[in-house]
Structure 1
Amino acid sequence: MLPFLHDSKDSQPASDQSAHAAAPVAEAHPLDALTGGAFSAATSGERAQRVRDWLATDPGPEDMQAVYKELSAKDRGAAKALRDRLEELRRAKAQDAMAEEWRVKGQALLDSERLHIADALAWQRDAAKAGAPLARPPLSEIRDRLTERVSVVEDLQQRVMVQREAAALLAQRIELLSTNAWSNASAQQSGLEADVARWHEQSQALTAD
């Protein structure tokens, strides 16, 4: 009688079968679940897509930095989107810090009792030279308020100049009257007094402004 033939699979020793059953499964990367499987993706293209999908969820800077550190060591191409986002955040942070610095300087000018036109113009020139974001708040608001204040100061300066010239003309008229005959000077006195009174009124208005 022929000996009973066993199936080859059944003939494997029990120790071999248990070894296959106990074969360890590769552990997932600690950041794989966070990124939606970016570390376990089979190809670079899949990793890059999963990174982009994860970035669309607006993750925090600390998480992005941790993922970039790990992923860039494995796949720089897939980590490029992360690097670009981190660079964008760094630039935005630097812009915010610069905006705050120039906001404080501009506000100090606005809060001063006397605004010098040269200081206001220098603020805008130096802020632009430094790359401060003058086109968006709060610097755009500071710039507009300084421009308005400069316009007011220039208007006052012009009015003061006119008053000085008027005062010089009044002084000349008084000096000329002193050389005229009394009757002639007396006839012009009322007109001169009215002009002097008007000059004083305008000067008081300038002081109030």
Structure 2
Amino acid sequence: MNALYLYSLWVRAWHWINALLFLVLILSGASMHFSGVTWLLAFETARPVHNIAGILLTIGWIVFVVGNLVTANGRFYRIHWRGWLTRMTEQSWYYAVGIFRNAPHPFHPSESEKFNELQKLTYLGVMYALMPLLIVSGWAFLLVPYLPETLFGIGSVWVVAMTHLTVAYLLVLFLLTHLYIITTGTTLFSNHRAMITGWHREDV
């Protein structure tokens, strides 16, 4: 059994706080979008909860970005282009086919590489593209009185709303995929345990 300390305390704390905030945002956002559904939060409750959670999520995202700039954790998100296409093909085949045939995993974490290429690409897209869009569109909602009447010839509120909603749906899809992928470790809960203890363990 190999054991590597891959998840520092600040990364684990950020991860779980971010996860909690995201769940609160899903519940409160759905409560506002489907206002009137009895088993969801009342609109008057959901709105301030959503706004506060969104502000905290913004702070958390800034902590994540700055943390990756000033600590060694940022190295795990760097793309290494030599052999990248081959590694991407192997990893994609594994998730699409190999995992259902009990094929060996083509990637094993190390002290220099925490994520496989598909994970890296996904996390970069989520944290450096979708999250900024979600945050900017969320703040635009808070600052609606200061927006121009139109953006790109369309009502600005509609543009902001559709951007926020579309990105939110994409992030929910990522969350569901993430929840599935974490069950594909050495055991059902080994990846989950790693994000609690910081130690990644897998059979040699």
- TM-score normalized with structure 1 length: 0.23
More helix, by proportion: 1
Structure with bigger gyration radius: 1
More strand, by proportion: 2
- TM-score normalized with structure 2 length: 0.23
Q: Which has the higher contact order (CA 8 A, sep 6+)?
A: 2
